[in-house]
Amino acid sequence: MTFRELFESRISMDSVPSVFYDAAVLHMTLEESTRTLELKLRVRTVPAYEDIERAEDCLNRLLSAKVRAELCFPAEALNEQAFATIIPLLRRRHMQVNGSFNDAVYSIVGDRVYVKLAHGGAGLLRSTQMDTELETLIRDLFGVRVTVEFQGDETVDTNDEQYQRLMQQAMEEEQQRAQEAAATAAAAAAAAVKSDGAPAPAKPRTAGVDFNRPPTSGLPIYLETAQTIWGKDIREMPVPIRTVEPDGSFVTVWGEVFGMEKEHRESRDGTRVLYEFHLSDRTGSLTVNMWLDKKRDKQKLEALASVKNGVCVLAQGSYDYNEYAKCNVLRIKSMALVAKYQKPDNAPKKRVELHMHTKMSSMDAVSEASDLVTRAADWGHPAVAITDHGVVQAFPDAMNTAAKLAKGGKEIKVLYGVEAYYINDMIPVVTGDATCALTDECIVFDLETTGLSQQNDRITEIGAVRVRDGAVVEEFNTFVNPEMPISEKITELTGITNDMVKDAPREDEALRLFYEFCGDCKVIIAHNAPFDTGFVKKSAERCDMPYPFTSIDTVPIARALYPNLKNHKLDTVAKALQLPPFNHHRACDDARVLAQIYLKLITDMKEQRGVETVDGINTGLKGGDMKGVKPYHLIILAQNLTGLKNLYKLISWSHLKNYFKRPRITRSKLMEHREGLIIGSACEQGELFEAVVDGRGWGELCDIAVLRFSRNSTARKQCVYGAQRYGARRRTAQGFQPYNRPTR
């Protein structure tokens, strides 16, 4: 695959130098955790170094990733002109090259490369093995082995401006190293006078490191901060742990320490101690296991005092199977502490996170509350909310962490809240303003559709019956051409195929026929009415037709009258009422059965609850089993101490009195303890967002938002407007991918 074939559909090729268009992509590695993309390209000709940088910068900008290109060229591309690119690439690997090769002249004779240095210093370059490094780079780039010879003065002209600049830089580096050594010695001296005599733990180097910039290595650690605590200095680049094989080979890896126990196992005679911990670089993990003698390995034991959970280390050693540990183990020969890259928040105006989970949220988070609060404080955030799913166990940890940070000069306010499992037990059974008697004429109907989304799916069948004087007097049934394919799953469920609807009336004609059947009767009955009436409303909106109906939902009626049923689906209720079997999921059959159910419900409402009119249903039916009601997510934040007390009351009640699979808070109970609480619409599983995705009207959205902003109409409108913008984005997403989330 060529560079053009890989990236043409993702970036604008006009900003990429044309020399890379036909470059062959030999290898590509993407590290998601660090957003680092490594490309290995075979290019036919050697490009200018500026073109390489321009291509990398273009990919960095367009892909929002740190891109590093590793190039190789045909052997015949190696010539004198190629060194204009080779030397800057050498400088990438070894900063000490600096301007040593400025104005140099290159010549190639056979397998030898002669470099005539314009400013002298051949001996200095050889002493730093730059000739060997240049040979290695040429072999990597061109696949050929050459011998590099430096020509020119062995000494350096001390009056040369280039030499003086290099010496000035070397002096500055030497001074910096001396300062670091002095600081280290001072820290060691301070540790020596401690009452317990224990040495101070080592830390990564920090001098001269800009921690606001990502590491140049492409790794999430600053290699230049390496502070050796064991063995020799590690100069090799670490490899991903996932690539390490347990074959006894000598490897260099980096990782964050975890699994380090506070107490370490000792041998039977008490002379040795076992240190065991694990390293993870987010590509894989490995185990470090070693027995150390208390006397002979005293320095190593002191060094390990700096190795704690959460610390990042560079480690070098052999990786092989350990018979004692019964697993693959890294036997460390050298180890250094390194600083980990922490992404900064450089926004001039800091955000306040109002939706955050800790490890107390079951199956939804793994972070400690203390870590989250500390990170927010490090970023300069003025406050942060803790909103675990249904629980408040993280509050003490968050509170103590904030107090500890305040003592250190980092003020941060913790907002105490919860992401509740919310049940709206105050949904009206009747929607509309009809005041007629229950025994008056009504239309019982049912729909079949291509799916669940009122915005994106369409009606495939309408079935309805007219009920008058306690009997079915007329029926209506029509297929509807949805003008979109019916999926195999829907066909399997309903039995309706594409062939059955291809010659049926289209949406506008079918809706007109249904309206004609209803005539002057404006009371319609449905099982789970918000679903069916939602489709009718959306169809009427598309067809520029009115929606004049009052709807009655039989699901909450059945839930209130028959609380002992395991659920209140149509077939379950029909079976409980001993109605004859029917063809479920066909509109005509469902409507007939629902009419018989409704007639029974009318009788029971009158006998059990004294309800005789349509407008009396909402007030006459209170209570009922809410186990079958779907819970929504809802953010509740405590505004003050009164709110915090009410929040605790709600949490206790949801666990002790209303627990069904999850601790559920009902709307009626929430309104009872509403004082001091701020209510938010939560995530895409919130009631408001799902209503927007379903394409519900402005009035319904405002009704839902009333709970959240009952005292502020402007805030209520802003909340709904923001949710509508979110829903509009989701409705245009390819395949509704965010909507197809896994159930928990």
CA gap 264, 289 in Å, rounded: 11
Reference 625, options 578, 594, 658; nearest CA is: 658
CA gap 318, 372 in Å, rounded: 36
Cα 473 from chain centre = 56
Q: Are 70 and 40 in contact (CB under 8 A)?
A: yes
- Using DSSP, state whether 193 is helix, strand or coil: coil
Tell me the residue type at 620: G
Reference 373, options 389, 353, 390, 388; nearest CA is: 353
Q: List the structure tokens of 141.
A: 């780039």
CA gap 425, 560 in Å, rounded: 11
Q: Are 425 and 435 in contact (CB under 8 A)?
A: no
CA gap 202, 734 in Å, rounded: 52
Reference 94, options 66, 128, 139; nearest CA is: 128
Write the CA distances from 636 to 402, 651, 678, integer angstroms.
21, 11, 6
Write the CA distances from 452 to 248, 469, 686, 690, 693, integer angstroms.
58, 34, 17, 12, 11
DSSP states of 323-356: TTTTEEEEEEEEEEEEEEP------SS---B---
Q: List the structure tokens of 475.
A: 């029926």
Cβ atoms within 10 Å of 596's Cβ, excluding its own? 18
Reference 405, options 384, 436, 427, 434; nearest CA is: 384
Q: Which of 585, 633, 655, 673 is catalytic?
A: 585
Cβ neighbourhood burial of 743 (10 Å; 0-12, 13-18, 19+): exposed
- Is 585 a catalytic site residue? yes
Question: Cβ neighbours of residue 387 under 8 Å, at least 6 residues apart?
Answer: 354, 355, 356, 357, 417, 418, 419, 635, 637
Write the CA distances from 459 to 111, 462, 477, integer angstroms.
78, 8, 13
CA gap 418, 638 in Å, rounded: 9
Q: Are 667 and 706 in contact (CB under 8 A)?
A: no
CA gap 566, 570 in Å, rounded: 12
Catalytic residue numbers, as ranges: 585
